[in-house]
Amino acid sequence: MAAQVQSEWLDGPIKSYLGPGCWNKGTVIHELGHATGLWHEQNRPDRDQYVKVHWDNIPDAVKSQFNKASSKEIDSLGTKYDYRSIMQYTGTAFGIKKNGKQLTTMETVNPYYQDIIGKGSGLSLIDIKQLNLMHQCPPYTGKFPLRKQTDTCYDADEYCSRRVPEKGCKDKQVQKLCRFTCNLCATGSGTDPLPTFPSVTIPPKWTPYDPNPDCPFKDVWSNCKDVKSLCHQGGSWGERMKINCRKTCNFCGQPSSLPVTTKPKTVPATNPPAATTTLPSVTSKPPVSVNPACRDTIGNCPSLKKFCENSGWVHILRTRCPRTCGFC
């Protein structure tokens, strides 16, 4: 990944627009990387030491995607070139097709990584380190998957994090393209139809709200928590989530179960004159009925409250901590 030296933060959310064919976990994270100020890895000033670009195999219209940026435009903050970065293109990205085969556009100086680049579905360790350095966040101390793609065990397609949930690892084409994600390298046969996708395990303090415990429905998919970000996505994915991840996404009906009505409470006034205040009855509702604009979506908003009026953070906190920051 490569970080911009300067980013122009707007007073409000930064919007990323993705076409119908782009709703793949790795693609979404890649585009959000741009929104947080990241360049493509192959644009780094030092990229020629790590990647050889085959210009003859790239259409003229997209050659700019492979241009090197100057050191004035990119500051990698002391981190080394990262073949596993989510911001790195695949070795055949934008390649011209010849005899039905897409030609190589980038060749790694270290051949070990040739079939690995551009195949990740989440942030790499260096991605996380550089984002924390760029935004002056504390170092990441959470868990990270031990499994990594190798030169003999890798996904042949960068869209495996979408193919596997859609078709499953028993599908012959998926088995051929997604050997790493489907855990087929060691056994040679499908043993895990719902594999654990390689992804970062976020510490508890960053964990979003848990699924509604009163929801009468059960998830159909066992990996709903891994695709929770698609709960309110429009189109076919949104419809799939409503059917297969009802509990995780809080699609539990209105209300999700029998309403629980609290008894009126009598609260003594703290200031004279002495008086009592009777609170009205409150009927609990599932989180889905709460206005999203008036709800924090991460658990550590109180510790981030000091950044609520910081121009570099307001665009993030407006959507993540609207309640704590008073944006409701």
**2 and 119 part of one domain:** yes
Give the three-state DSSP class for 38.
strand
Q: What is the mean pLDDT of the chain?
A: 74
**66 and 89 part of one domain:** yes
**28 and 123 part of one domain:** yes
- Rounded distance between C-alpha atoms, residue 23 and residue 159, angstroms: 9
**22 and 133 part of one domain:** yes
Q: Which residue has the higher pLDDT, 278 or 243?
A: 243
Domain count, the chain: 4
Residues near 313 by Cβ (< 8 Å), separated by ≥ 6? 304, 307
Is residue 6 over pLDDT 70?
Answer: no
Domain annotation covers residue 134? yes
**17 and 106 part of one domain:** yes
Domain annotation covers residue 264? no
**113 and 186 part of one domain:** no
**108 and 45 part of one domain:** yes
Domain annotation covers residue 161? yes
Domain annotation covers residue 277? no
Domain annotation covers residue 269? no
Is residue 116 over pLDDT 80?
Answer: yes
Residue at which a domain ends, from 160, 175, 203: 203
Domain annotation covers residue 80? yes
**83 and 116 part of one domain:** yes
Domain annotation covers residue 265? no
**13 and 94 part of one domain:** yes
Q: Give the H/E segment covering residue 268.
A: strand 266-268
- Mean local confidence (pLDDT), 110-118: 92
**Confidence at residue 185, expressed as pLDDT on a 0 to 100 scale:** 78
Alpha carbon distances (Å) from 137 to 133, 229, 307, 321: 6, 23, 12, 17
Confidence band, pLDDT 50/70/90 cuts, at residue 83: very high
**189 and 235 part of one domain:** no
Most confident listed range (38-52, 209-223, 312-326): 38-52
**166 and 212 part of one domain:** no
Is residue 201 over pLDDT 50?
Answer: no
Most confident listed range (1-5, 17-21, 61-65, 317-321): 61-65
Q: Are 231 and 193 in contact (CB under 8 A)?
A: no
Lowest-pLDDT choice from 5-14, 65-74, 123-132, 271-280: 271-280
Which are the catalytic amino acids?
31
Is residue 52 over pLDDT 60?
Answer: yes
**Confidence at residue 91, expressed as pLDDT on a 0 to 100 scale:** 95
Domain annotation covers residue 319? yes
Confidence band, pLDDT 50/70/90 cuts, at residue 110: very high
Q: Are 318 and 12 in contact (CB under 8 A)?
A: yes
**By residue range, what is the domain housing residue 240?**
208-258+284-289
- Mean local confidence (pLDDT), 166-171: 90
**303 and 328 part of one domain:** yes
